[in-house]
Amino acid sequence: MNFYGEISSNNRMTFFLFIIFFALLFVLGYVVSFALNSYIFIPIFGFIAIIYILVSYYASDSIVTAISGAKLAGENQFETLHHVVEEMAIAAGLPKPRVFVIDDTAINAFATGRNPRHAVICVTTGCLTRLNRAQLTGVVAHEMSHIRNYDIKVMTIAAILVGVTVLLSDLLLRMFLFGSVKSNSNSKEGNGLMIVAIAVGLILAVLTPLIAQLINFAISRKREYLADASAAQLTRYPEGLASALEAISKDKEVLEAANKATAHLYIANPLKGQKLWMQSLFDTHPPIESRIAKLRAM
């Protein structure tokens, strides 16, 4: 495993996501500007893109923990959890991340933050009550590996950018559907261009959720395999994470705090029972059975 290569790859992926996001907003702004015959929307959407990129980069950890309903874990109340996180931070050679807890009996966890010095590890209370220490250590080691490989920067920014893109596209769709967009030209050519603009706008608005899923899918499944292998390296005990993943696979509870924008941040898909067959084509997690088999083959 070339960890430095993975870090460089993830930094490039972050830049690529920013470019895609900015380009999509520019196109949306152009379509709205053309439809309203006022090109002021291009710089407005560009300004929104720049502000949102800065906010999502520097405040991503706060945003994700807030929308997930996560609370800061007190050291006295969650002493074992803090000890495990500190042990794995030392093993990884990283600063100890802030520790959060989601009050939910489902077994799951995620990491977030733009870099190791601004990282967060969050687990559900289900992890603390339904996993033994070796299993919990495996889960924390997996999330610590995401931090070390800078996976969390890409995954977190993708979640936030997907959310704002969907919101803007939904706004655009409503403008077209409810007649806010009207042609200011009486010529056939002007009306023809207006029809094209409306068609493009509708296509963008309808396809944006699909684009969002593809962006999430760009967070390669191999990152999960790499984090699993890295966790085994940190703990020197692959069975801890393997048995934890086995417990997660048998857990039928849906994590209520999760949503489609943040689902890919978790160690395993938290939206159990809420996925159609077509949606499985865009999974960001490898099959959990395959992950378990690879760990037990180590």
Residues marked active site are found at 143
Q: What is the H or E stretch that residue 59 is in?
A: none
Q: Where do the H-state alpha helices sit in 149-221?
A: 151-177, 188-217
Widest CA span in the chain: 73
Q: Where do the H-state alpha helices sit in the chain?
A: 3-36, 41-58, 60-67, 79-92, 125-130, 133-148, 151-177, 188-217, 222-235, 238-250, 288-296
- Considering only CA atoms, which of 172, 159, 181 is closest in space to residue 205? 172
180: tokens are 């806010």
Q: For 66, what's the count of Cα atoms within 13 Å in the CB-facing half-sphere?
A: 6
Judge whether 155 and 221 are in contact, CB under 8 Å. Answer: no
Measure the CA dihedral 26/29/33/39, to 10°: -50
User: Exposed/middle/buried for 94, CB within 10 Å: 0-12, 13-18, 19+?
Assistant: middle
